[in-house]
Structure 1
Amino acid sequence: MINANHLMVFNSVANNLSFSRAAEELYTSQSSVSMQMKKLEEYLAVSLFEQLGKNIVLTEAGTTLFLYSQKIFSLIDEGVHAIEELKGCHKGRLLLGASTTPGVYLLPKILGKFKSVYPGILPKLEIANSQKIVEMVNTNRLDIGIVGEEIICPPELYVEPWLKDELFLVVSDKHPWVNRASVQVKDLENEQFIFRECGSSTRSIIENILANHGLKVSIVLELNNTEAVKQAVSANLGVSIVSGFSVISNSGIVCIPIEELGFYRMFNIIYHKNKIFSPATKSFVAFLKCEIGAENLIDTFFR
């Protein structure tokens, strides 16, 4: 019979595609991970990984085993959750993921309020761009995720609208537009833009709306988080379009409306269709949808 510990280690290595990161995740040594993978390969009489330069990738056999190992550990989690349901307790873990804007500017305050109601639940928040969060939810590494609507999710995921977000043009308080009440769409073509990286839902919605209006703007800088974008705008390196949630009480930058052009999107809650929620996850989703009141989110947390 296959060694369950070997399978757990394999699942971690396959998830991370790294022996060293798997060792960190499992609080063991890299040599121990390597040894256990060697034993598993000997037992199965196949190679599960192959080396490509400095990286490792799954072989065909490794990919097949990874699909089954994910199902096995998902079933184990569901069994634990079912027992928790029988006990009726509000304890346990919550594996939550979010794209940058909700992850940085909304969820920390929400989680603080949630913890005051459910002190026995331990949340872990993963913040990454939307594509990464979708991938992690789809591979059962997260219980739920919160991402922008413009990211396409695979059919295995359930997508539920949660909160409307408005994006704004932001410029430095040293920019020539700083005292203007608004700008026209055509004015944007002459500006240098600072954008988030590809895979960001903020960037996707901006590019789609600009393209729908026949606008092609010049990108002078790409950065992988919103705070860096705002700092670059504050330094007058260019202009950008960011979530309104990210510029509340922010100094050094100014929001300016664009005439006849609005940037709106929904933040969605996503989870796997086959996922059986633990009591902790059920409590948090209910908290997001009902107790907070999405329509009053800014008043509740930021004013």
Structure 2
Amino acid sequence: MKIYQFEIFITVARAKSLSKAANLLYLSQPAVSKHIKSMEEYYGAKLFDRTNQGVRLTEAGEIVYEYAQRLKNIHNELEKDIDGFLNSEELNLNVGASPTPGEYLLPCTLWTFKDKHPRANVELEVSYSSEIVESIFQNKLSLGVIEGELPSGSSLISDHLMTDQINVIASESSELKTIENINELKDMPLILPSGDFYIRKMLQRLLSEQELEITDLNITAEMNSFTAIKSAVEADMGISFLSYSAVKKPVFQDRIKIIALNEGVEEKLNLDINLIYSQKPNHPGIITKFISFLTMQHQHSFC
């Protein structure tokens, strides 16, 4: 068993719901169910009873829950004690991130990591993917979490962490429900991220496949802030393209809504989130720990 599986189990037990736990863990409900089933198979016992109100621990589940909390606490204490052997230089962690992970995925994750490693000196820099890559080459950053792939021929290591989804968003009052063909965008008021955003580049590639140019669209505004874009969409100034991570809160609050796309378009808007770092043989201790923290748990690392 892995530590993060105990954390998933604890979250389900406390939330008393697979769906609520999935939202808290930034996982799909089938993924959470799979981990619980895996634990039940491993221990040879049913850990949860399913009810109309959610789930509740079985007698065996109560035992596992007690041990899971103790194991998690012991592991946290172990990590903190090991950090005591690291010198100050080995405790510096400078993380670069492109806008989606930097603004919506990593802040809570870094807080969780800092809680496990209180002596770590953690800094987060949010910038465009290309600038994060360059800063790692120049040793200004320890590592990066970016949208999209590394440039061809790059010597950096890239580990896939999760796949987000680019969505078309509109105000809750909009009458728009679906977009069947990408050509329909030509007649719609669009509020787009500025040219350096990876989301903008994905949209340009999608348009080129349909023999369209960005200039063929009815762009009413270009903004370099996801927050500003969401505010403009909420005010019904137009529609936009943003990642699910960026919009899930206002969608949940019924301030904006996601517009359905036909399956062929939607599958081309998968947004890969990757961890990138240099191939140094011996990274300082805290960097190695953070790389392991992300790569061993993948999307389970994100809050």
TM bracket (short chain)? 0.5 to 0.7
SS in 2 for 1:211: helix
2: CA distance, partners of 1:187 / 1:151 = 31
1:274 CA drift (Å): 3.9
**Mapped pair 1:184 → 2:180:** yes
AA matched with 1:285: I
Instruction: Give the alignment of 1:8-19 within 5 angstroms.
Output: none
SS in 2 for 1:231: helix
1:222 alignment partner in structure 2: 222
1:153 CA drift (Å): 6.2
1:290 to 283, 296, 300: 296
1:239 CA drift (Å): 0.9
AA matched with 2:125: E
SS in 2 for 1:254: strand
1:127 alignment partner in structure 2: 126
RMSD (Å), alpha carbons: 2.5
1: CA distance, partners of 2:99 / 2:274 = 13
2: CA distance, partners of 1:194 / 1:218 = 9
**Mapped pair 1:213 → 2:217:** no
1:267 to 273, 276, 279: 273
2: CA distance, partners of 1:237 / 1:151 = 34
2: CA distance, partners of 1:230 / 1:109 = 21
**Mapped pair 1:160 → 2:159:** yes
2:259 alignment partner in structure 1: 256
Check 1:153–1:273 CA distance in 2 against 1; reply closer, same or farther (3 A cut): farther
1: CA distance, partners of 2:232 / 2:83 = 48
Moved more, 204-213 or 109-118: 204-213
2: CA distance, partners of 1:150 / 1:93 = 26
1: CA distance, partners of 2:286 / 2:153 = 25
So what's the TM-score if we normalise by structure 2?
Answer: 0.63
1: CA distance, partners of 2:92 / 2:124 = 11
- Higher-Rg member (1/2): 1
1:275 CA drift (Å): 6.8
**Mapped pair 1:281 → 2:287:** yes
SS in 2 for 1:238: coil
Unaligned runs of 5+ in 1: 1-83
8 Å contact kept, 2:83–2:117: no
2: CA distance, partners of 1:136 / 1:221 = 30
> Greater share of helix residues, 1 or 2?
2
2: CA distance, partners of 1:238 / 1:135 = 34
2: CA distance, partners of 1:153 / 1:227 = 31
Instruction: Give the alignment of 1:46-195 within 5 angstroms.
Output: 87-88=85-86, 92-150=91-149, 152=151, 155-177=154-176, 180=177, 182-185=178-181, 186-195=183-192
1:202 alignment partner in structure 2: 199
1:236 alignment partner in structure 2: 236
1:89 CA drift (Å): 6.5
1:67 alignment partner in structure 2: none
Moved more, 160-169 or 213-222: 213-222
- What percentage of aligned pairs have identical amino acids? 25
